[in-house]
């Protein structure tokens, strides 16, 4: 027992600062994700109220990528959304994102709550170390209008005009729709 504590303390002294950095990065990523989600939600709610689903489609098409790029610029992180069945081809996952979402899907199927589906890790990328953060996006009732199994024909038509390779329909309530995905390049200084 005491041995365990001493060993644990040694490990903490060795790695404590790396853990602390990771915890701080994770907290920052979670906060940015919250801000991003809130802005997307507000934009979507306003657009639906003003122009119904057809009007909201146009706004989502123009605003969703802009919200992500503005927040990326102001924060210094790369911020976006991805999905195993993307609507916008630009949201196609990389291998890392695909694996994390497959894991989220499996955990959701085992009954875990969507809110707990979060992943954070330091990974080795082509350009050095990256901190990567992902958070699951579940399918809510309102999402089914544009992502469900019975999308209205005029909506469907407009979606395929805007997104010829759309895969993001056929979702059911509670399905994993996708994930927020954040990246930050770590310069490695001080390691």
**Residue numbers at the binding site for ligand HEC (CB under 6 A):** 53, 56-57, 60-61, 64-65, 81, 83, 86-88, 91, 137, 139-140, 142-143, 145-147, 168, 177-178
**Shortest spacing between CB 44 and ligand HEC, in angstroms:** 6
Q: Which is nearer to ligand HEC, 29 or 56 (CB)?
A: 56
**Shortest spacing between CB 94 and ligand HEC, in angstroms:** 14
Q: Which is nearer to ligand HEC, 17 or 50 (CB)?
A: 50
Q: Which is nearer to ligand HEC, 17 or 73 (CB)?
A: 73
Long-range pairs for 157-162 at CB < 8 Å and ≥24 separation? 158/54, 158/57, 159/57, 159/87, 162/57, 162/61
**Shortest spacing between CB 149 and ligand HEC, in angstroms:** 14
Separation CA 58–CA 50 (nearest Å):
12
**Shortest spacing between CB 171 and ligand HEC, in angstroms:** 9
Sequence-ordered strand ranges (E) for 73-139: 78-82, 118-125, 128-138
Separation CA 108–CA 94 (nearest Å):
21
Separation CA 151–CA 13 (nearest Å):
56
Edge-to-edge order in the sheet of strand 78-82: 78-82, 176-185, 128-138, 118-125
Q: Which is nearer to ligand HEC, 87 or 184 (CB)?
A: 87
**Shortest spacing between CB 115 and ligand HEC, in angstroms:** 13
Q: Which is nearer to ligand HEC, 30 or 65 (CB)?
A: 65
């Amino acid at each position: 027992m005491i041995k365990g504590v001493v060993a644990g303390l040694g490990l903490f002294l060795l790695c404590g600062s790396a853990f602390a950095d990771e915890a701080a990065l994770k907290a920052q990523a979670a906060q940015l994700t919250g801000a991003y989600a809130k802005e997307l939600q507000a934009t979507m709610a306003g657009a639906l109220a003003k122009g119904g689903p057809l009007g909201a489609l146009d706004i989502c098409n123009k605003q969703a990528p802009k919200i992500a790029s503005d927040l990326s610029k102001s924060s210094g992180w790369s911020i976006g959304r991805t999905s195993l069945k993307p609507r916008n081809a630009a949201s196609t996952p990389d291998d890392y994102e695909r694996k994390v979402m497959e894991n989220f899907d499996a955990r959701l199927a085992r009954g875990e709550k969507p809110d707990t589906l979060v992943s954070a890790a330091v990974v080795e990328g082509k350009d050095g170390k990256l901190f990567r953060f992902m958070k699951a996006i579940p399918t809510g009732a309102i999402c089914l209008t544009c992502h469900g199994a019975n999308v209205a024909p005029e909506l469907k038509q407009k979606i395929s005009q805007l997104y010829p390779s759309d895969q993001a329909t056929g979702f059911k309530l509670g399905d994993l729709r996708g994930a927020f995905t954040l990246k930050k390049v770590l310069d490695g200084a001080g390691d």
